[in-house]
Chain A
């Protein structure tokens, strides 16, 4: 119970907010749009200088730095006054930027967290279909341009086929590759057959008609975590991020009443 409570993005928001409050208090740098005191520390100056260097490729001279700081102050003061006047409202750029920042906040812990094997094992167990190794097929096949010829060949027992540049026989071919080489239709039709010692068919493909001797089929299985840890981790991460964003949003959304008129 407590664990799931701890996972709630809203709790993260609140904790993050509290932490910011504590940190700000600790550093004695009350910084808010409604405050009319601006503390210009060495850190800020260094940041401004570094920003200049990033863009221009060299450190600013003293007079350039003074100018930059003046510009920064000007922007900061206008920014705060702008907020005071409510100019941030109805500005699409500001809206989008802040919304993105909120999304990032919700996703952050999932993006950087080290994830334990136990979590991934659980993930693997609960989403096996995503990691199932596609399985393999072993078969012989022959091709005919028309269905009638294929049927006649099967009936006569002389299964030779017409020449075509497709593999006559494959051994433990991954099913994804099978689909690539023989096409979607063949793969779908083949799925309906069971392995048998006799020739079966004909089944259609994008090429025409095939008689098939389906020798073996392995439906595939979920590999152990160690083999696909990376894939599982990437999947867990992106899903978790999306889910946290959505949950954080839902929590906020639920607190709103939207009147559609």
Chain B
């Protein structure tokens, strides 16, 4: 009785007793959003979001210093101004339409708990040391987390922190409050807040992380807790997902990311451990993991110059990240590259499909941030850093930025982060999730260009004159779709608009991958539309002259005096062969613009080395999800 009274008293005077604070969510907000708003007949616009954001619940983000939680993250994504952990005002120029908060499931909330725990109750000496470091100073706090990540990579996390049963217990309250909070910020038609978490499988430091994204509201997501990733197998994650769907009637998908830091393990030709891949394994992989995050702060995973030597635009966001796995405990070797990049994975998928009858790597593409600041910033002029230790301040661009070790990766290697675009009929959990599921999504490295793609067999240029969107949906398939071979070359209607507040477009390309008559995987990049096509940029010996460069390095500015506001193409595959197994995706390239590093240099008056300045002007881009062309079923799955 006495204790209860004291607790009640403490709760009225001190904050933080539960988070039953604030308003309650309506029924519409709590659900998946079906039948809550009027939907367009066809997906009518891309909805913009970040599916990969960490807050103070993440074990590493908290240790890196972030003190902003999920509520701040939601407010920020919706366009409100918040104060970042280091004290700067932070706001998005344009709000996002949706957000997946994806805090690490492993030891969820544990650093926050470790920080808050009474010291004498911490039995484990390592944990006690981390506790002290977290309280000592921000720098020590970051060091503690670097140790923690290395320990995780080396399987040396103290037992008290990793036991799944115990962790699930500790996570239960946190998750229950969290999914209720998401409902409160989820407003069908205006803003979608998805439940999610990051599953951080990392054998030997090789990044096999997935972000989980739930379609449902708290009534269903509250029935589970985030599933830990360390020491697990990916099949166990799929089992967890299956169990969730079976038990709740809900839906969930997984988004692999940072394949560039997987040392070839993300997209293997075998099942994990080198055992032959079965059709069943391939089916499960494709079914559970319909999209891949191709670009984010820790580099871009589209392709690598060594994999695509004839692609002059390969190599965006590769520098620094190509050296090795996440904590740089193992260096990368060239034989690992095909398993680490998206384009080669799509090719491997074709080969495996030919062999198994199922394509395990038939995925769509998105971008996201992976920011650990609770701030989903994707713009170069508003980059709040990978984590709180690198929020805007003079030193961040040039300092070594490794997790754990300190060689080879520097602040300027970070990209400003990407975003995910989903073509949906409205802004609800159901509509956007379903767009992900059918792969009607695309990735951008930050700018919000509008990219639309339809593939069919009988499109013509005159289709643009009418209601071409209806034509596209009724006589073809959108990005992410499948075409079955009819003996005719596929035709593509591709439309691109620049970011209305951003840079002009340089060119639009189709990237084709296919299996040739000898069973070899091939790739080719086609320029299908570009600015000044008929004028000064007419092809010279098959090559298109570069668009130019208006970037003023010292002032971090550019002008839209080059490039084009929009590009369109009606493109027929000139190298089509009947029965060919192929994929096609669009890569849209902007004119050169300054990276965040130049904005930092201007803001803080930095003097940058030449090498860094050269790497600080890039051509940002978008990657559509592919369309696949498959041989007709009757033709069999063998060689044609």
Could you tell me which A residues sit within 8 Å of B by CB distance? 16, 19, 23, 27, 43, 48, 51-52, 54-57, 68, 71-72, 75, 92-93, 101, 104-105, 107-109, 111-112, 145, 163-166, 176-177, 179-186, 205-208, 229-230, 233-234, 237
A231 to chain B, nearest CB (A): 8
- Which residues of chain A are near B112, meaning CB under 8 Å? none
Chain B residues whose CB sits within 8 angstroms of the CB of A109 once the complex forms: 12
Q: Which chain B residues in 554-592 approach chain A with CB under 8 Å?
A: 560, 565-566, 568
**B residues 157-213 in Cβ contact with A at 8 Å:** 160, 163, 165-166, 169-170, 184
Residues from chain A with a CB closer than 8 A to the CB of B122 are 55
Is A181 within 8 A of B6, CB to CB? no
Contact across chains for A145 and B565 when beta carbons are under 8 A apart:
yes
Contact call A71/B135, Cβ cutoff below 8 A = no
Q: Name B112-149 residues within 8 Å CB distance of A.
A: 113, 117-123, 135-137
The answer to whether A93 touches B136 (Cβ under 8 A) is yes
Using A163-B568, A206-B560 as known contacts, list a sample of 17 further A-B pairs with CB atoms less than 8 Å apart, ordered by residue number in A.
Answer: A19-B13, A23-B9, A51-B118, A55-B117, A57-B163, A57-B165, A105-B13, A108-B12, A111-B21, A165-B496, A165-B566, A180-B45, A185-B500, A206-B500, A230-B23, A230-B24, A237-B22
Task: Give residues in B with beta carbon < 8 Å to A.
Answer: 2-3, 5-6, 9, 11-17, 21-26, 45, 94-95, 113, 117-123, 135-137, 160, 163, 165-166, 169-170, 184, 450, 452, 464, 495-502, 560, 565-566, 568
16 residue pairs A–B, Cβ–Cβ below 8 Å: A16-B13, A19-B13, A23-B6, A55-B123, A57-B169, A104-B15, A108-B13, A112-B17, A145-B565, A177-B45, A179-B94, A205-B500, A206-B499, A207-B497, A233-B23, A234-B22
User: Top 6 closest A-B pairs, CB basis?
Assistant: A183-B500, A230-B23, A57-B166, A206-B500, A207-B565, A165-B495
In the complex, A16 Cα to B14 Cα: how many Å?
A: 10
**Residue of chain A at shortest CB distance from B5:** A23
A237 to chain B, nearest CB (A): 6
Interchain CB contact under 8 A, B15 and A164: no
Provide the residues of chain A in CB contact with B13, threshold 8 Å.
16, 19, 105, 108
Chain B residues, Cβ within 8 Å of A176 = 95
- A230 / chain B contacts, CB cutoff of 8 Å: 23-26, 184
Q: How far is the CA of A123 from the CA of B185 in the complex (A)?
A: 20
Are A234 and B23 in contact, CB atoms less than 8 angstroms apart? yes
Task: Name the CB-closest residue of B to A103.
Answer: B15
Closest B residue to A74 using CB positions = B120
Q: Which residues of B contact A181 (CB under 8 A)?
A: 45, 500
- Which residues of A lie under 8 Å from residue B94 when comparing CB positions? 179-180
B452 — which chain A residues lie within 8 A by C-beta? 165
| B160 in contact with A164 (CB, 8 Å) | no
Q: Are B464 and A163 in contact (CB under 8 A)?
A: yes
Q: How distant is the Cα of A171 from the Cα of B119 in the complex, in angstroms? A: 62
Q: How many A-B residue pairs have CB under 8 A?
A: 115
A43-B3, A54-B170, A233-B22 given as contacts; is B121 within 8 A of A166 (CB)? Answer: no
Q: Which residue of A has the minimal Cβ distance to B495?
A: A165
Are the CB atoms of B11 and A112 closer together than 8 Å? Answer: yes
Find chain B residues with CB under 8 A from A107 CB. 15
Please determine whether B565 and A206 come into contact, CB atoms closer than 8 angstroms: yes
Tell me whether A56 and B501 are in contact in the complex, defined as CB-CB below 8 angstroms, given that A51-B117, A230-B23 are known contacts: no
User: Which residue from B23, B25, B121, B565 sits with its C-beta under 8 Å from A52?
Assistant: B121
Nearest A residue to B18 via CB reads A112
Determine the chain A residues whose CB is within 8 A of the CB of B500 once the complex forms.
180-186, 205-207
Complex Cα distance, B162 from A58, in Å, reads: 14
Distance in angstroms between the alpha carbons of A101 and B116 in the assembled complex: 13
Residue of B nearest to A52 (CB): B121
Among A16, A27, A57: residue with most chain B CB under 10 A: A57
Instruction: Write out the residue numbers on chain B whose beta carbons fall within 8 Å of the beta carbon of A51.
Output: 117-118, 121
Name A112's contact: one of B2, B21, B497 (CB within 8 Å): B21
**Which residues of the other chain, B, contact A92 by a CB distance below 8 angstroms?**
137
| Complex Cα spacing A27 to B2, Å | 8
A165 nearest in chain B by CB position: B495
Q: Is the Cβ of B497 less than 8 Å from the Cβ of A165? A: yes
Q: Do B120 and A75 have beta carbons less than 8 Å apart?
A: yes
- State in angstroms the CA–CA spacing of A112 and B118 once bound together: 25
Q: How far is the CB of A66 from chain B (nearest CB, A)?
A: 14
Nearest CB of A to B597, in Å:
24
**B498 in contact with A104 (CB, 8 Å):** no
Q: Smallest CB–CB gap between B569 and chain A, Å? A: 12
Tell me if A183 and B501 are in contact (CB < 8 A): yes
Q: Are B135 and A56 in contact (CB under 8 A)?
A: no
Contact A207 B163 (CB under 8 A): no
Please pick, from A19, A55, A75, the residue contacting B9 in the complex, using a CB distance under 8 A.
A19
Q: Which residues of B contact A75 (CB under 8 A)?
A: 119-120
A residues near B135, Cβ cutoff 8 Å: 93
Q: Shortest beta-carbon distance, A197 to chain B, in Å? A: 26
| A68 adjacent to B12 (CB under 8 Å) | no
Let me know if B15 and A108 touch, CB within 8 A.
Answer: yes
Complex contact B498–A206 (CB within 8 A) = yes
With A and B bound together, what is the CA distance between A68 and B160 in angstroms? 17
A164 contacts B170, C-beta separation under 8 Å: no
Could you say which residues of chain B place their CB within 8 Å of the CB of A71?
120
CA distance A23 to B565 in the complex (A): 71
**Chain B residue with minimal CB distance to A237?**
B22
Taking the nearest CB of chain A, how far is it from the CB of B453, in angstroms? 12
Which B-chain residue is minimally distant from A58 (CB atoms)?
A: B166
Residues on A with beta carbons closer than 8 Å to the beta carbon of B464? 163
Interchain CA distance A236-B550 in the complex, whole Å: 47
A105 touches B14 (CB 8 A): yes
Partner of A208, one of B22, B24, B160, B565: B565
A43 CA to B2 CA, complexed, in Å: 9
How far apart are A104's CB and chain B's nearest CB, in angstroms? 4
Cα–Cα, bound, A230→B181 (Å): 12
Q: Is the CB of A104 within 8 A of B22?
A: no
A residues in contact with B121, CB < 8 Å: 48, 51-52, 54-55, 68
Which residues of B have CB within 8 Å of A177?
45
Q: How far is the CA of A55 from the CA of B6 in the complex (A)?
A: 23
A55–B12 touching, CB < 8 Å: no
Q: In the complex, A54 Cα to B495 Cα: how many Å?
A: 56
Kindly state the separation between the CA atoms of A177 and B44 in the bound complex, as whole angstroms.
12
Q: Report Cα–Cα, A43/B3, bound state, in Å.
A: 7
A71's closest neighbor in chain B, by CB?
A: B120
B48 to chain A, nearest CB (A): 8
Residue of B nearest to A235 (CB): B80
- Shortest CB distance B129–A (Å): 15
Residues on A with C-beta less than 8 A from B5 are: 23
Q: Tell me if B14 and A104 are in contact (CB < 8 A).
A: yes
- Smallest Cβ distance from B170 to chain A, in angstroms? 7
